[in-house]
Chain A
Amino acid sequence: EDQVTQSPEALRLQEGESSSLNCSYTVSGLRGLFWYRQDPGKGPEFLFTLYSAGEEKEKERLKATLTKKESFLHITAPKPEDSATYLCAVQAGSNTGKLIFGQGTTLQVKP
């Protein structure tokens, strides 16, 4: 069964303290791995798509990487406005493109 597990569930950082979020996946035929950011009361906001092991994508203070078993979202020198829930999702081997989500990591960055 296709499965996505994110860790930690919650993370508290001081402003400027870099860290990484983990997304481990077990899928039959990975078609794409997605990172989203979700603010309270809002829908998920698309950040990155990764397709194959070794791929990296960057956006401002965020960098996503992918291996055959997991993905990392690295946050460099975070700011309070980076506080949100970060969701990882995979597209597996079906034709529908449906996403299978992890439970998310809630990040709080304190000034």
Chain B
Amino acid sequence: GAGVSQSPSNKVTEKGKDVELRCDPISGHTALYWYRQSLGQGLEFLIYFQGNSAPDKSGLPSDRFSAERTGGSVSTLTIQRTQQEDSAVYLCASSLAAGFGQPQHFGDGTRLSIL
């Protein structure tokens, strides 16, 4: 079946611009996660959704970052006034539920480059 789909796959933008990254999870998966992967930093948790609500936003690095999820499905991560340190690969993952031990399945990410 279809896996997690992310778009765009690559995004190059100028410093100070806003960007929107999209994630389409596996059908039927209620839990959705955003992570960021930077060179030398590994994968860092950003935000978690259960349905349309976000009980854990603790990983968002600043108030320039926000995310929403609609219809319990598609999620959008928005970065306002982008900075060069925002350059990274943004990965989305989904799982059947947020229960312990549930494997998270990842998309191939959006590679964001800030000029």
Contacts and interface: CB of A to CB of B under 8 A. Distances in A.
Band of interface residues on B:
20 to 34
Interface stretch (A10-18, A60-68, A69-77, A88-96): A88-96
B99 A104 contact: no
Band of interface residues on A:
20 to 34
B75 to A, nearest CB: 15
Contacts of B109: 43
Contacts of A103: 42
A44 B27 CA distance: 19
Interface string A47-58: 001010000000
Interface of A: 31-32, 34, 36, 41-46, 49, 51, 87, 89, 91, 94-104
Sorted nearest first, the 6 A-B pairs with minimum C-beta distance are A43-B106, A31-B100, A97-B98, A101-B43, A96-B56, A32-B101
